[in-house]
Structure 1
């Protein structure tokens, strides 16, 4: 008989049995798509007790980990422990045991973990194409007839003109069929920058879309939207704000939305956003089509000149228009964005701007995009680049610190507003820029945690990407997914995500019942009524695609041209060591209390049972 000194434990048996019951209610929140084998890896544990075992498919424990200290994550009100299992590098599917009980069995470790979700999130733009039928060859069960094929659109009186223009192509903006220059601006920029940062990776990556000429798939997809944007520039250089009907359509397919299209508004924000995007496009497309690149650059210059002469022309919806407004009263950030990109493209110092912003990029504030441009072009911007870099790193340091507690993500209470998942995505993109500029792996690790959050490591235990993960949205606010007769929603869409605003809650039949929980991170409903939490939008997909694409490209050996040397060699941060040897641990499993020592199990009398 072995003596473990168990007399001290036996009087506590009842208390320990009670404690073990808590282990049964433990919940592990994981990245449901998987973790890269070579990366730092962690999941979140709520209501756990004791060590955590990672078990392989044959039932053998391959890693035992002591969770980190519990900390409260205010957005969900939960006490969370982070479990670092970075030492597990062998690809496979594993189970997680807490207190000897399996709490989930879908923990995946793999190589090229995010390639499929990258392709899906980019292919979604194909599904959003206007003026084109989606053939079964490319769209599968989500094939559909072309919508909005008549290129003739009426000039609304808000444009200051009359008559019609021809405007086709482009991406439907969200769950409706409007097309908006402002939101296209940040979306198209983000995707262009993904290609510009990793051209060699994306030259060969394909995901079954109809591509134009010799263009890589990513540039072919982006060009479909650039072509539409070019149609929205007036002869004087100004850019029209949007192309929509006067109101939102019902839940119909694009081909059934037959109300007249109007070109609505013309303003400073749309014009400068357009100028910035076209300036980047001129650089990116030049190796493939010099004529098209020149066309984009001339359009950018013309737009910038109009914006400089009309710096305060803000857009607001006319009284007879009820589609998305994208109204913005602060217009200096758009000028900074446009000037930065035009200076990078042309070298013309008249476009050069100074200063830097701490603000996370979003459609209404693109000053952070200008900060990216300045910080990553040290030669061109000189001292201004250093200011931008310092600004960027100060924000990134705050982000990284926040990612080490709670659910291990950057998000805080104030980040849960409409489109919160794009906030998370843009935080990840910001962190990657800090990584490029310093080579400090802490920023890379924090950025990967954003993908963890979006793909399931969140208090809803949900992947926010349709079609991917153990649990993902089935009823997004997306007209084609509602009206197409297909059970599964169009795949590859990031839904807006939790936020407590409740703008879609009401008593009408088309409105939602109150789904708010009192906590921002859990105020969400997977329901078609919820345009405030469950709609999709092109600007929400773009940062997710950038994150997944950049992480895959980096691990394939690529890096942006401006990056510090050595960032393509990713090594995981030092993890807590697995327990190769440990003292006796009291466990409870299969309705039996036992002692575990060095991976062996003994009953309370000290006899070996396993």
Structure 2
């Protein structure tokens, strides 16, 4: 179908010359996230403005200046960035500049929903042993040991095929297993349970991602049968003898259906023409150990805990790298670093001193900021050990690890800042894997430091994978369903059987000079991306190109972590207002509002001071101007709490039943807000840094949100369902009344309070005799015991 569409496109091009394009993230954008597209052209004139258009109505909803022209990149003579991050309203849109328009895309909190689970399909399709996609078994005779004192059969059937060939490596499989385990640990809400452990339909009470991780763990255990004996690889490049379905593997190795299983010896290996440069075992042993340690914690498995320690000790005994073994061709995974693997292992085992020592030996992953590297030379492309160790440290050492991440990111940024795609990743083999890993390093840095400086770079790396690249294509098979995604990957399953490779991340573009020098590449069809190839880099959606269009198991597993982070980290936006922060972090923001009643301020201030907690207060102009409240307001400000506006006269902005129906004009709104801010300044409060605003009655609509943005304010409000906002009710309200006990239960029953904005009134009508704010010490203490941290609203949403 894609090739037919190409022919139709070529016919159209003969009639209409097309010189400009707008590249977007085809998955879409979240309302609160970074939202940038790239305009690119084969002409010189960059647009001054761009427009965001509602795809249903055709109405222009935003007209904004384009960023400064960024110059040539790849096939384009001129490029620039189109930043519409300030627009938050969900919907379906497209961008246009003059006569050029993008494809349609959604802005929604659900654009990433289910994406991580979707990519798990490819992992199951790559299973060796029993394969649930094929409903068949393969490679059940693995294998016979080489470089080993063992002379008998080694039972190692299982695991995943590495890519479109059927080789299996502990190096990549362990990295994949760790990322799947970490994705489940860090973002359990991103995954569902629709399959049994064997991958066939049927819930088994375990998230599917954990089932997949366990599949990897079980194979790694087979590859480590004794504490002093670890295997690294099944098969070698004798596998590359034509396309076939897995169960059709035949006698390539002279031992019937058995394949060779390579022992980790710490010395160079290669049974045929070529050899690797192995110097030790630690790179593989460290990966085994970190997987077993994390698996032991998640599964409460004492045997995994034993194996984690044994593997770690093996790495200590044999420092150095354990590279994969080549055969008839010179290609292998040329991993040259190992202290990163041992740092992750020691951090996972809680061995802080050793982990710190290893961390100092490789502060920055060496490829970051470089133009090239050998194939998988600095694997697994970033150092997860820094993040795992930083989470266990405080003070200067923690800050040092965070700075290690920042140094690597800054090296990439120095290259990326010079082009419109913010591309600073070298176009070496598996460049998409490097891109995915780098986006995760940016994410971990942001989570650990709170620094948002590289958010746009982080998002640009993610956007690149889903279409914001010169070729305008997603690099993930079938994602999104209606997008331009790989259709002719280098895979026997799709090439021979037309099976979909749902969720598989392909290798990605390579330098043109690399492509021209690779062995055995022959494109099969006309190049639909011919207009976008350049002397810089190429990408081909063609079965014949194994360098750019072959899906990889390990790259897909790492992407699953990134997609789960994206789905879990999205803020909740309601009518342009933020009602919940990052739901992947155990942070809560306490916010207090007041208008005519604020008798609770002394009690609240005392409780926060005793608990050493900072909160946020939003008062009306009337409250700020009330002499009885002013001493306490000044004290809150001096203590470092966040103070913001709540309107001057507590206006009702829109109808209760018809939310779109406004009850104030924009001028009335503006005057009221500025009056509120002026009364804050009269108390000595610096309003130049005030960014957040809670509307009166916590009731607003998209128009109010847009008016707020025009005043430099972002609407925030309580997280629906928490129920603490009902603490203003009194018994005369009958059914609407909620007692303190009712409110407390509502908060506790909410469950996962990650990112929640918990609103409490600083004062209530005298008819309410019991005051919920008196329960603050108890509530804060209990939530602290559950691991929650309390953040001011600007910290929660930074």
With over 3 angstroms needed to count, the CA separation of the structure-2 counterparts of 1:107 and 1:198, relative to structure 1, is closer
Tell me by how many angstroms 1:302 deviates: 2.0
Are positions 1:536 and 2:551 aligned together?
Answer: yes
SS at match of 1:126: helix
What is the aligned partner in structure 1 of residue 59 from structure 2?
60
Tell me by how many angstroms 1:531 deviates: 1.1
Are positions 1:309 and 2:354 aligned together?
Answer: no
SS at match of 2:389: helix
What is the aligned partner in structure 1 of residue 226 from structure 2?
235
* Contact 1:214/1:288 (8 A) holds in 2: no
| Cα distance per residue 1:33-71 (max 9 Å; x no partner) | 111122121100123433212221211111112101011
| Cα distance per residue 1:100-147 (max 9 Å; x no partner) | x2523423222221123322223211111111132xxxx5xxx45322
Tell me by how many angstroms 1:80 deviates: 1.3
Using the size of structure 1 for normalisation, the TM-score is 0.77
Match of 2:179 among 169, 187, 190: 190
Match of 1:181 among 155, 165, 170: 170
* Contact 1:464/1:495 (8 A) holds in 2: yes
Tell me by how many angstroms 1:168 deviates: 1.5
Match of 1:438 among 444, 449, 473: 449
Match of 1:290 among 297, 300, 306: 300
With over 3 angstroms needed to count, the CA separation of the structure-2 counterparts of 1:306 and 1:282, relative to structure 1, is closer
| Cα distance per residue 1:11-49 (max 9 Å; x no partner) | xxxxxxxxxxx9973210111111112212110012343
Are positions 1:210 and 2:188 aligned together?
Answer: no
* Contact 1:198/1:558 (8 A) holds in 2: no
What is the aligned partner in structure 1 of residue 535 from structure 2?
519
What is the aligned partner in structure 1 of residue 656 from structure 2?
none
Are positions 1:299 and 2:298 aligned together?
Answer: no
What is the aligned partner in structure 2 of residue 96 from structure 1?
95
* Contact 2:128/2:160 (8 A) holds in 1: yes
In the alignment, structure 2 segments of 5+ residues that lack a partner are 1-15, 199-203, 252-257, 267-277, 369-375, 572-581, 590-612, 615-690, 693-705, 711-798
What is the aligned partner in structure 1 of residue 282 from structure 2?
272
Distance in 1 of aligned mates of 2:291 and 2:94: 46
Are positions 1:337 and 2:341 aligned together?
Answer: yes
* Contact 1:173/1:538 (8 A) holds in 2: yes
What is the aligned partner in structure 2 of residue 263 from structure 1?
261
What is the aligned partner in structure 1 of residue 493 from structure 2?
480
* Contact 2:436/2:558 (8 A) holds in 1: yes
With over 3 angstroms needed to count, the CA separation of the structure-2 counterparts of 1:441 and 1:335, relative to structure 1, is closer
Tell me by how many angstroms 1:191 deviates: 2.6
Using the size of structure 2 for normalisation, the TM-score is 0.60
* Contact 2:282/2:319 (8 A) holds in 1: no
Distance in 1 of aligned mates of 2:474 and 2:324: 35
In the alignment, structure 1 segments of 5+ residues that lack a partner are 1-21, 581-610
* Contact 1:417/1:501 (8 A) holds in 2: no
What is the aligned partner in structure 2 of residue 559 from structure 1?
584
Residue pairs, 1:85-484, within 5 angstroms: 85-99=84-98, 101-134=99-132, 139=133, 143-150=134-141, 152-156=142-146, 158-199=147-188, 201-202=189-190, 205-206=191-192, 208-211=194-197, 214-244=205-235, 246-259=238-251, 260-268=258-266, 271-286=281-296, 289-291=299-301, 294-312=302-320, 314-315=322-323, 317=325, 325-328=332-335, 330=336, 333-347=337-351, 349=353, 353=357, 354-355=359-360, 356-359=362-365, 364-366=378-380, 368-379=383-394, 383-399=396-412, 406-412=419-425, 415-469=426-480, 470-484=483-497
Distance in 1 of aligned mates of 2:562 and 2:486: 20
| Cα distance per residue 1:374-400 (max 9 Å; x no partner) | 333215xx6543322211122234445
Tell me by how many angstroms 1:221 deviates: 0.5
With over 3 angstroms needed to count, the CA separation of the structure-2 counterparts of 1:314 and 1:541, relative to structure 1, is closer
* Contact 2:416/2:423 (8 A) holds in 1: yes
Distance in 1 of aligned mates of 2:451 and 2:294: 28
* Contact 1:155/1:263 (8 A) holds in 2: yes
With over 3 angstroms needed to count, the CA separation of the structure-2 counterparts of 1:553 and 1:502, relative to structure 1, is same
Tell me by how many angstroms 1:370 deviates: 2.8
SS at match of 2:385: helix
* Contact 2:229/2:263 (8 A) holds in 1: no
Residue pairs, 1:559-578, within 5 angstroms: 559=584
Distance in 2 of aligned mates of 1:421 and 1:84: 24
SS at match of 1:108: strand
Distance in 2 of aligned mates of 1:400 and 1:541: 24
* Contact 1:278/1:297 (8 A) holds in 2: no
**Greater CA deviation, 111-120 or 473-482?**
111-120
Higher relative contact order (CA 8 A, sep 6+): 1
| Cα distance per residue 1:511-536 (max 9 Å; x no partner) | 34898955334x12111111111111
Tell me by how many angstroms 1:271 deviates: 4.5
SS at match of 1:186: helix
* Contact 2:347/2:388 (8 A) holds in 1: no
SS at match of 1:211: coil
* Contact 1:97/1:104 (8 A) holds in 2: yes
Tell me by how many angstroms 1:318 deviates: 6.2
Distance in 2 of aligned mates of 1:424 and 1:449: 10
Are positions 1:40 and 2:23 aligned together?
Answer: no
Tell me by how many angstroms 1:173 deviates: 0.6
With over 3 angstroms needed to count, the CA separation of the structure-2 counterparts of 1:579 and 1:562, relative to structure 1, is closer
Larger Rg: 2
